[in-house]
Amino acid sequence: MKRLFVLLAALLVFSLAGLAAQKEKTYSGEIMDSACAKAGSHAAMMKKAGLKTAKECTLACVKNGSKFVLYNKSAKKIYQLDDQTKPEQFAGEKVKVKGTLDASTETIHVTDIAAAKHSAKKSKKSKTSSKPGM
């Protein structure tokens, strides 16, 4: 019995050490619904449902049972999000999600979500186009 207790205690210590070793990272992509992310696009659903924006599509699909996910288009990677509240305000947008990844389930434990910043070119363009006489 004593041996079993020691074994369980050791297992618990190693499990906690593994969790503590995980470092928070930032993941980029679009907040999508799981159904459209699997398809790699909102196009089919938007056409079928007559929706005009990625935000409308994402919110409609989540309302119908899909989950919010982070979709990285360039890597064709879908990350599950453990928090299903924070992503709602960023539906259909490019974002940066901070959190720790559970690699076994591809789930990010979300600590923060922020809109991705626009490129410097877009910022300069919008500033110059607002000058009079240009």
pLDDT at 130 over 60: no
Strands 25-33 and 77-81: unpaired
Please give the pLDDT value at position 6. Answer: 60
Q: Answer for the pair 122, 129: CB distance below 8 angstroms, yes or no.
A: no
Instruction: Give this prediction's pTM.
Output: 0.72
Residues 54-65, mean pLDDT to the nearest whole number: 96
Residues 32-53, mean pLDDT to the nearest whole number: 94
3 confidence band (pLDDT: 50, 70, 90): confident
pLDDT at 2 over 80: no
For the segment 14-39, what is each residue's pLDDT rounded down to a tens digit?
A: 665 555 557 999 999 999 999 999 99
